[in-house]
Amino acid sequence: MPSPRSNSSRPRALCAALRHARKQVCRRVADLAAAPDDAVAHGYAPLVAAVEAAFRHEELIMETLGYARLHVQREENAVVLRALHRALPDVEDGNAALGRRMLDALAGVLDLHRLSADLALALAVGPGDAHARGRAARATQHVAARGVHAVSGRSGAGG
């Protein structure tokens, strides 16, 4: 039988894994955006594959944590991936300007996803179980604690 400590540390470990994976993807996006045009053309497809893998990993963690709005996250991920794949042939053919626009948009979407993932994780871990570090982390937990019933009780429409 697992100890209570291991049960409460498991969500924190999953949260840490999610944040680490997200940082890696964001770093790859930033690195490719700063690269020369030919590197954008050659590096775009591997980046799209990395984003797909990161989204699958994120969804698995959210599912494990019991995130109630996982279906919405999956829909958003599908839209992002569809856009990235749609631009893929043009970027591979050398349209670095399109590739850079896609990378810029992807960076913005990943920032928004980070915020929603942080809220999901705060809800899953619970305000009493997590040791928030920093004002932003504590604010996220505060919002999560106040909005638990509102967020988990909503339908998928409109949000």
Alpha carbon separation from 4 to 7, 9, 41, 71 (Å, rounded):
5, 9, 50, 30
The confidence score (pLDDT) of residue 9 equals 66
52 vs 2 pLDDT, higher one? 52
Q: Where are the domains of the chain?
A: 4-153
User: Does 1 have pLDDT greater than 80?
Assistant: no
Provide Rg for the chain, Cα atoms: 18
Q: What predicted TM-score, i.e. pTM, was given to this entire model?
A: 0.70
Which residue would you say has higher pLDDT here, 136 or 112?
A: 112
The set of residues, in sequence order, having a beta carbon less than 8 Å from that of 50 and lying 6+ positions away, is 25, 28
Residue 141, pLDDT above cutoff 50 = no
Model confidence at 56: pLDDT above 80:
yes
Span 29-51, pLDDT tens digits: 999 999 999 999 999 999 999 99
pLDDT of residue 21: 86
CB 50, CB 58: distance < 8 Å: no
Q: How many residues does the chain have?
A: 159
Query: For residues 155 and 79, which has the higher predicted lDDT (pLDDT)?
Result: 79
What pLDDT is recorded for position 64?
A: 87
